[in-house]
Structure 1
Amino acid sequence: MALIKVQGVVLKSMDLNDNDKIITLYTDKLGKVKAVAHGAKKQSSKLMASTQPFCFGEFLLYKGKSLYTLKESSINESFQELLLDFDKIIYGSYFIELIDGISEDENKNVSLLALLLKTLYILKDTDTNLDLLKLTFNFKAISLSGYMPNVKTCVRCKKDLDCGYFSIIQGGMICSKCFTPERDIYGINKETLTFLRILKNIKLEDLRDINYNKKTLLYVETIMDNYLNYYIGAEFKSQMLIKKLKKK
């Protein structure tokens, strides 16, 4: 029985039966995997704490016919402070749901794991605007997963732009000459395009230093939510909860 030691974050934890769980991990060596955690539902189990969503730790796994089995684990960071803040737990849930949604099983992407961890630490330790953090996380996650929209040039004629239209179907900006009416297309002025380009390139730790217009942020957030839904093919539960939060 070959054992493999990985570092990873628990994306999801589901009951298998009265005693056992199936967890979804995003790991450094294997990418996204599912593992059975025998006895993890028991109060006395050493696996109970480390199999909660958000938990970052080390996991000792072995592969069965269809699933991995978790043999041992240790916690590096539980992120349990998020549970004390309703808004943060909703946004944190969004981050792990997005990683789950855009990742294929056993497709390793160490940069995506690093992005998730950095985002969760910023969420836990700072008062960064949650919508700005979510929007920047979206840009970086889809870029690392191969879905990055073109916000530099027209996707049709390759002309440099300072305004135009954003097409979800075409995957980026379209100039006024190439524009044709279609569904899911948004007008983009110079200020909005500048903001899109900032989000694409900014470091997460620098978010609190940027100036932004709240209306522009909400407009771009709507575009990116629809962009993600189009390419992933689903809307996350946490995404719907965030929309409800905004209506309060």
Structure 2
Amino acid sequence: MYTDTEGIIFKQIKTVNGRRMILLFSKKYGKISAGTGISEKGRGKSALAMRPFTYGKYELYKNRDSYNINGAEVIRSYYRIGEDVEKYMAASYVMEFTEQLLSENDPMPELFVLLTDFFEVIEARKKRYETLVLAYQLKALKACGHMPCVDSCVLCGAKDGLVGFHVKEGGLICEKCASALNHNDALIYDVNFGIVDILRYFLRNPLQRLEKLALDEKVEERLSRILKSYIEYHLDIRNLKSEGFVLF
């Protein structure tokens, strides 16, 4: 069956006879593996669509067990991401994180749009990419149904007096519940109203409105530790290859 889909390439692996295996985040089919003979080093329009940080349209041949990319064209190239090393590594980290979030053949159109929005915003941003990455991660968790509870105490439902984040329980906890817990638990973090407000602000606003927002570095570092612990505990996403080159 011949079909097409909008997509973003996660990575490429060279195989035999000049062919490649492509890991593609497609809007229509989700994360898929597809073979192709198209090289990103070529000069045709299909080659341009095989390059990193490109939002393209891909012509597929789909049979029962596999996909093949027969042709491609660029919808939008975010080539300026590659002109700044820190920006490139931040975007690479987000791509790797997104890949790990997705299951094969499970369409996630909301997350797909979020990723293209991220590319738009980070390409235009001049510095301090960490805040944008944290906002993306939180929004990506929500899009995939793994959002921590940030509106009320995850244990009793109280909306006031939120003083901690309980990684194992999956969200904020109030002062009363926190006082009854083991404070030696490494997966319970103290938070203040500032971090609570930041989490909610990230969720209420599109990435485009966060383009110029940069958090205080100490707040950024603490929020990063909380999200990293939550993601490792609940999703078992850890030790990303690009993690050592970026951010926190």
Quick one: which amino acid aligns to residue 119 of structure 1? F
1:192-248 Cα offsets, whole Å, 9 max, x none, are 2122221222221111465743321221122112222223312311122114xx5xx
Query: Deviation of residue 67 (structure 1)?
Result: 2.4
- Residue 236 of structure 1 aligns with an amino acid whose one-letter code is L
Question: Which shows bigger deviation, 52-61 or 86-95?
Answer: 52-61
Q: Secondary structure at the match of 2:18?
A: coil
Change (3 A) 1:25 1:39: closer
TM-score in terms of structure 1 length:
0.90
Following superposition of structure 1 onto structure 2, how do residues 1-248 of structure 1 map, counting pairs within 5 Å? 2-40=1-39, 43=42, 47-127=46-126, 129-179=128-178, 180-181=181-182, 182-208=185-211, 210=213, 212-233=215-236, 234-243=238-247
Task: Mark the runs of 5 or more structure 2 residues left unpaired by the alignment.
Answer: none
CA distance in 2, matches of 1:57, 1:125: 19
Aligned AA (2:66): L
Q: 1:118 to 1:111 in 2, by over 3 A?
A: same
- How far apart, in 2, do the equivalents of 1:200 and 1:32 lie? 24
> Match of 2:164, SS?
strand
What secondary structure, in the 3-state scheme, does the structure 2 residue paired with 1:72 have?
strand
| Between 129-138 and 13-22, the greater mean CA deviation after superposition | 13-22
Query: Contact 2:164 / 2:191 at 8 angstroms: preserved in 1?
Result: yes
Counterpart residue identity of residue 115, structure 2: L
Q: Separation in 2 of the partners of 1:60 and 1:208?
A: 33
Q: Alpha-carbon deviation of 1:177?
A: 2.2
Residue 107 of structure 1: CA displacement? 1.0
Secondary structure, aligned partner of 2:242: helix
Structure 1 residues 82-103: Cα deviation after superposition (integer angstroms, max 9, x where no partner): 1111001101111211211101
Give the conservation status (yes or no) of the 8 Å contact 2:27–2:108.
yes
> What CA distance in whole angstroms lies between the structure 1 residues aligned with 2:41 and 2:18?
6
Give the SS at the match of 2:176: coil
With structure 2 as the length reference, what TM-score do the two structures score?
0.90
Contact 1:54 1:96 in 2 (8 A): no
**Deviation at residue 45 of structure 1 after TM alignment:** 6.8
In structure 1, list runs of 5 or more residues that go unmatched: none
SS at match of 1:51: coil
| AA in 2 matched with 1:241 | F
The AA in structure 1 aligned to 2:16 is N
Give the letter for the 1:198 counterpart: Y
**CA 208–47 in structure 1, closer or farther in 2 if over 3 Å, else same:** closer
